[in-house]
Amino acid sequence: MAYERVILEFEGDVAVLTLNHPDTRNALSWSLASEMSDALDKLGNARALVIAGAGKGFCSGGDMASGVPQGMGFGDMIKKGLVDAINPMLRKLAALKIPVVAAVNGAAAGAGAPLALHADFVIAGENAFFYFAFPNVGLALDAGASWLLPRLVGSARANEALVLAERIPAAKALDWGMIYKVVPDEALLAEAKALAARLAAGPTVSYGLIRQAVQAGWGSDYETALQTEEEAQRISGNSQDCLEAVTAFLQKRAPVFRGE
């Protein structure tokens, strides 16, 4: 697939996926989501992923200017786009076995806000903000917002964000525990890439299993969480990265991880 709305680049072991349609502030249109989905299939041997937005914003949410096919209601059109494009892409993103870093510049609005929150580490520029604008345009919510946000910030703050639909500045998002870090705008992409490079140099088999276990833990009971951890430790303990770490410990040197 030739991309018109995203850019996929590789910097060593780090893949950088940039939402690249500044004319719409990188609106999460069906075509952009489809290109993202295709790009997620082409990460190859990348050991960490950065998601960023080109221009003045990370992602402005759904493309409200989308044409509605004749005979179809606007809501029906939205559901079809979610079923066909948005949600399949999000499932791929959630299922990745490598760490994901989101670099949020400007607005992460509508579906763009939960898109960013799918990352394991969300770094925001100091002038960035999160804006769950759905009810302000008469809509409910999508892109996993109903699942992600209450788990990150609790029901009271989730209702403030989702129902009152007011902008949440980066500093407030950090205070709430929504995101990992706030940095000066001009340092944002460099910070995100540096973190991704650090992660890519680590035991990525372990990271992937931790990522999956944390997601499973959100929706499981205590006993199931313990069983998930047991299997994760079996797989990671049998990995070459673990063997390398133990060998390096015994040899009193720094380990060299290869994601194997």
Check residue 66 and give its pLDDT.
64
Strand intervals (E) in 20-134: 48-53, 100-104, 107-109, 121-125, 129-131
Instruction: Tally Cβ neighbours within 10 Å of residue 183.
Output: 18
Residue position matching structure tokens 């299922």 = 95
- Homologous superfamily of the 6-200 domain (CATH): 2-enoyl-CoA Hydratase; Chain A, domain 1 (3.90.226.10)
- C-alpha span between 74 and 19 (Å, rounded): 25
Check residue 232 and give its pLDDT.
66
How wide is the angle at C-alpha 77 spanned by C-alphas 76 and 80, nearest 5°?
85
Check residue 132 and give its pLDDT.
93
Give every residue of the chain whose pLDDT is below 50, as ranges.
none
- C-alpha span between 213 and 40 (Å, rounded): 21
Check residue 222 and give its pLDDT.
63
- Identify the CA nearest to 139 among candidates 212, 82, 219: 82
Check residue 258 and give its pLDDT.
84
Tell me which architecture the domain covering 204-251 has in CATH.
Answer: Orthogonal Bundle (1.10)
- C-alpha span between 34 and 197 (Å, rounded): 26
- Domains of the chain, by residue range, sit at 6-200, 204-251
Check residue 234 and give its pLDDT.
77
